[in-house]
Structure formats: structure tokens, C-alpha cells
């Protein structure tokens, strides 16, 4: 979400085990920021406010299955044991829908 110096970007890209989308970063950030909402509360952190930190759990088929906003959701994923149990449950699930087509968002 922040502009990185070229040296910092190269370091990030070198250490990533999978491809990283760098073009269109502002649009990508805005798209993921939409997941700050819930059906019962469209702006958890205040109207139009994007949280400073969000984490996403994406299943092996490429579907977003959960998100955590520490400042809103509390401790949540800081309990690594609970997070690993949820990941284990996802790993035991069969394919619900086919993986999405290859695309970047």
C-alpha cells in the first residue's frame, strides 16, 4: 500500500516464494480495502477509513476465506494455534468450486 524504494522492492521480490503483482498497486490496495466491511457494519473503522493493517486467508483454490483487522477484530490471529486449526480445517475441505481463472487483482 506504500510506495517502496526500488532497493526495498527488489528485496521483497527476491525473497517471495511466489509471484507478486506490483503494477496497479493503488487499485489492488483499494480493492482489498473493500473487505474491511461486514454485512452488518459497512465501515468498521469509520466511514471511508481503511485500516492500517489487514490480513487475509486465501484457500488453496484461490478464494478469500477470512480476513483479520487487528484494531477492529481484537487478538484473533495472534493465537497461532487457533489460526493453524482453521487452516487445517480448510485443508481438509474438498473443492467447493473450481479455482478462479488466472488473473491478477
Residue pair 42/49 in contact (Cβ under 8 Å)? The answer is no
Position 66 pLDDT exceeds 80: yes
Q: What is the pLDDT of residues 19-56, one digit of tens each?
A: 877 788 788 888 888 888 776 766 766 666 777 788 89
Please tell me whether the overall predicted TM-score, pTM, comes out greater than 0.75 for this model: no
Which residue has better confidence, 52 or 105? 52
Distance of CA 40 to the CA centre of its chain: 20
Q: Reply yes or no on whether the pLDDT at 91 is more than 80.
A: yes
Cα separation, 95 vs 60, whole angstroms: 9
For residue 44, with 0-12 CB atoms within 10 Å meaning exposed, 13-18 middle and 19 or more buried, which class applies?
Answer: middle
Residue boundaries of the structural domains of the chain? 6-92
Amino acid at each position: 500500500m506504500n510506495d517502496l524504494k526500488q532497493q526495498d522492492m527488489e528485496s521483497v521480490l527476491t525473497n517471495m516464494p511466489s509471484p507478486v503483482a506490483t503494477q496497479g498497486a493503488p487499485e489492488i490496495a483499494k480493492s482489498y480495502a473493500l473487505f474491511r466491511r461486514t454485512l452488518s457494519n459497512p465501515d468498521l473503522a469509520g466511514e471511508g477509513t481503511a485500516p492500517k493493517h489487514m490480513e487475509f486467508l486465501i484457500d488453496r483454490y484461490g478464494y478469500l476465506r477470512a480476513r483479520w483487522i487487528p484494531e477492529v477484530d481484537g487478538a484473533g490471529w495472534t493465537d497461532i494455534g487457533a489460526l493453524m486449526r482453521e487452516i487445517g480445517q480448510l485443508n481438509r475441505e474438498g473443492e467447493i468450486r473450481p479455482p478462479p481463472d488466472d488473473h491478477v487483482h
